[in-house]
Structure 1
Amino acid sequence: MLLVIDVGNTNIVLGIFKGEKLIFDWRISTDKNKTVDEYGLMLRQMLGSADIDPKDIKDIIISSVVPNINDIFPEIANKYFDLEPIIIGPGVKTGMNILYDNPKEVGADRIVNSVAAFEKYGGPLIVVDLGTAITFDAINIHGDYLGGAICPGIKISADALFQRASKLPKVEIIPKEKVIGKNTVASMQGGIFFGYLGLIDAIIEKMIEELRTGDEKVKVIATGGFSKLFVEGSKYIEEIDPMLTLDGLRLIYERNLK
């Protein structure tokens, strides 16, 4: 079995693959103060709840965008599984040409998502990851990673509004049918939802213009914790793939085996 670990700023997503099939997955909060042993024991408990013997884990692959945790999960792999993990970074074969000014600057999760999306959906393609930050990644028809855009995530903006405007309450982020609110909470929810819906579609629209070389259709796939909020309202998002990053980790693992 293969253990895949995606360390994000807000959540850590873990999955167990048996061959190409994802048989278990978990999502836990990212805590920069947790120790190797705390995370290691938590992981052992999750495996136990799934009736998986740690000895059945034959390989581990890790993607992380949190520098403070970069060393923790490789140490867990060594200490709790006696394995040397593959860590997404320079030197790891992705099978994708990275056409970025400095490829080392691209977040590991963006490359992993792009690898999985192109493998599953083909190109040209835009991947929208709605997490702590919102990232937009463009892949051309040949499977080359071209770059993209990054903007603050919806929760970051909503929290900033609550913290900086003393009379405004903290609100739940939900899809809205109307933008004109009849009270403060509804007004904030409408402004946040439709503001971000407009931002997302405007960036996608501009990226489609830049990606197209003819009449080919540009596919748009969304992933990340907030993707379900916008799929119905967006003019461009065609599909949500919540396990895109985990699939990408498996694919990169297989490419490095070869």
Structure 2
Amino acid sequence: MILCVDVGNTTTACGVFRRDGLPVRSFRFRTRTDLSAEELLLLLRGFFDLLEIPVRALKGVAFASVVPPLDGLWETVVRRWLVKEWVAVSPERVPLAVKLRRPEEVGADRLVNAYAAWRRWKRAAIVVDFGTATTFDCVSGRGEYLGGAIAPGLEAAAELLFQKTAKLPRIELTPPSEALGRDTVSAMRSGLIYGFAGLTEGLVARLAAEMGEDPLVVATGGLASLVAPHAPSIREVVPELILEGLFWLYGESLGEA
């Protein structure tokens, strides 16, 4: 089995795949930069035990990160205690032609999302990742990464309302029952969820028009299920799309794909 790891600014997503690509289980936890190697190992072993995944069954790890201080820690833990096959996915490893003015600026996570969408559907796509930031990544039908857009994340926006206003509370992000909020909390939920749905629709329309293609719109990320039902342009919801991309890139790096 292969462990695929995506270290984000807020959350670390992990997925275990069989060698044939069938997903086994996935789990998420808060990204922390203060963990020791031993603490990270215990955290991972705890999830493996909970999900009844034998650590000895792991054969390799595919890793992507936007938190550089954690890269060395993860490699140390994996190589010392888990497996020897370690593939760190950098932007250079993603087989997409990058059509940007400054290609070095794009993060591996955005490229992996675009690659996974193109690999899965073999057509033009816009991947909307509802994570710490809300990112829109565009890939052409020829497998070219065209760029996209970056907007605030849903959780970040909710936290900003709490921090920057005197009377607005910190709320749990759950689906609103209606747009017309009848109290402060329901009004905040409506503004956030429906507001981000409107943001999504507006940006997707502009991006699709500039792409000059008919892209498939795919939602991913931990908060995708909150917004996607209210954004008609979204046709597919794959919360762990980046983990699929990491699995495929792992196989390609070892000549197995």
Hey, what's the Cα distance between the residues in 2 that align with 1:108 and 1:25? 20
* Distance apart, 1:91 and its partner CA: 4.2
Counterpart of 2:121, as a letter, is Y
* Distance apart, 1:244 and its partner CA: 0.6
Alignment of 1:24-63 (within 5 A): 24-63=25-64
Secondary structure of the 1:169 match is: coil
| Corresponding residue for residue 226 of structure 2 | 229
Aligned CA RMSD, in angstroms, stands at: 1.7
> Does the CA contact (< 8 Å) of 1:89 and 1:104 recur in 2?
no
| Corresponding residue for residue 65 of structure 1 | 66
* Distance apart, 1:55 and its partner CA: 3.4
Hey, what's the Cα distance between the residues in 1 that align with 2:50 and 2:162? 38
Secondary structure of the 2:97 match is: coil
Alignment of 1:190-205 (within 5 A): 190-205=190-205
Hey, what's the Cα distance between the residues in 2 that align with 1:212 and 1:141? 11
> Does the CA contact (< 8 Å) of 2:140 and 2:146 recur in 1?
yes
| Corresponding residue for residue 14 of structure 1 | 14
> Does the CA contact (< 8 Å) of 1:74 and 1:84 recur in 2?
no
Alignment of 1:169-188 (within 5 A): 169-188=169-188
Alignment of 1:110-125 (within 5 A): 110-125=110-125
Hey, what's the Cα distance between the residues in 1 that align with 2:47 and 2:175? 32
> Does the CA contact (< 8 Å) of 1:7 and 1:13 recur in 2?
yes
Residues 36 and 236 of structure 1: CA distance in aligned 2, closer, same or farther (over 3 Å):
same
| Corresponding residue for residue 109 of structure 1 | 109
* Distance apart, 1:222 and its partner CA: 0.3
**CA-to-partner distance for each residue in 1:208-230, whole Å, 9 max, x for gaps?**
101125xxx32100001111112
Percent of residue pairs identical: 34
Counterpart of 2:81, as a letter, is Y
Hey, what's the Cα distance between the residues in 2 that align with 1:21 and 1:111? 22
Hey, what's the Cα distance between the residues in 2 that align with 1:240 and 1:14? 18
Hey, what's the Cα distance between the residues in 2 that align with 1:185 and 1:243? 29
Counterpart of 1:138, as a letter, is C
| Corresponding residue for residue 236 of structure 2 | 239
Hey, what's the Cα distance between the residues in 1 that align with 2:40 and 2:253? 26
> Does the CA contact (< 8 Å) of 2:91 and 2:106 recur in 1?
no
* Distance apart, 1:90 and its partner CA: 4.8
> Does the CA contact (< 8 Å) of 2:194 and 2:227 recur in 1?
no
Residues 247 and 68 of structure 1: CA distance in aligned 2, closer, same or farther (over 3 Å):
same
> Does the CA contact (< 8 Å) of 1:13 and 1:25 recur in 2?
yes
Hey, what's the Cα distance between the residues in 2 that align with 1:175 and 1:50? 28
Hey, what's the Cα distance between the residues in 2 that align with 1:161 and 1:194? 16
* Distance apart, 1:182 and its partner CA: 2.4
> Does the CA contact (< 8 Å) of 2:91 and 2:107 recur in 1?
no
Match for 1:250 among 223, 230, 247?
Answer: 247
Unpaired segments ≥5 residues, structure 2: none
**CA-to-partner distance for each residue in 1:61-109, whole Å, 9 max, x for gaps?**
10101122122111111211251511111542x2211222233321211
Hey, what's the Cα distance between the residues in 1 that align with 2:130 and 2:34? 25
> Does the CA contact (< 8 Å) of 1:11 and 1:29 recur in 2?
yes
Residues 78 and 203 of structure 1: CA distance in aligned 2, closer, same or farther (over 3 Å):
same
| Corresponding residue for residue 156 of structure 2 | 156
